[in-house]
Amino acid sequence: MRKLNIVLFEPEIAANVGAIMRTCALINAKLHLIEPFGFIFDKRNFTRTSANNFEGCEFQRYDDLNSFFDSIKPLNCYFLTRYGKKPLSDFNFKNIDNDVYLFFGKESTGLPLSLLKDNKSFCFRFPMVPTGRSLNIANCVGIASYEVLRQWDYLDLSFEEVEKGSDYLDR
């Protein structure tokens, strides 16, 4: 069965990682974290921003980009960069039956230039005003994830409120 995978290359801000963990937990995506980090990797750094979804997030850590590629050997990789030539919505995920990997770079400098150059046809950007540099990485993960999930008909995600009941607004 296919799965959405989020890859963070050398994240620098713990709060962003916490927010991304929350998103991954709630959409059933696996998070891949490539070191070094710009913070101490400690549950206490993620508790608030992950809204206590730290345990619910399936994640794996890697020493560096090479160890990630050596252990995963992923197919279907897509790379967020402000240098991308098309939006993610231009890619067709509907016919992909195996895992998809969305790559996001460190907050200050993005993904390595060599990785982007080697994968130019799989680079994407989010359209924005011409003078804009970038969106927050946690927002980018949410936007990109939901585009893939939309094309996959949201896999097995719930369309109903289960805690208060699907008829909550009607009561």
Per-residue pLDDT at 52: 64
Residue ranges per domain, the chain? 4-170
Fold of 4-170: Alpha/beta knot (3.40.1280)
Cα distance from N-terminal residue to C-terminal residue, the chain = 38
Q: How far is CA 6 from the centre of its chain?
A: 4
121-139 tens-digit pLDDT: 999 999 999 998 889 999 9
Q: Are 112 and 66 in contact (CB under 8 A)?
A: no
Q: Are 27 and 61 in contact (CB under 8 A)?
A: no
Q: How far is CA 56 from CA 70, 142, 148, in A?
A: 26, 17, 21
What is the layout of strands, in order, in the sheet containing 4-9?
59-62, 30-34, 4-9, 100-104, 77-80, 123-124
Place of tokens 């460190």: 106
Annotated binding site for S-adenosyl-L-methionine: 80, 105, 134
Place of tokens 């050997």: 73
What's the average model confidence in pLDDT over 25-32? 96
Per-residue pLDDT at 56: 84
Annotated binding site: 80, 105, 134
Per-residue pLDDT at 50: 57
Confidence grade of residue 49 (pLDDT, cut at 50, 70, 90): low
52-63 tens-digit pLDDT: 666 788 999 999
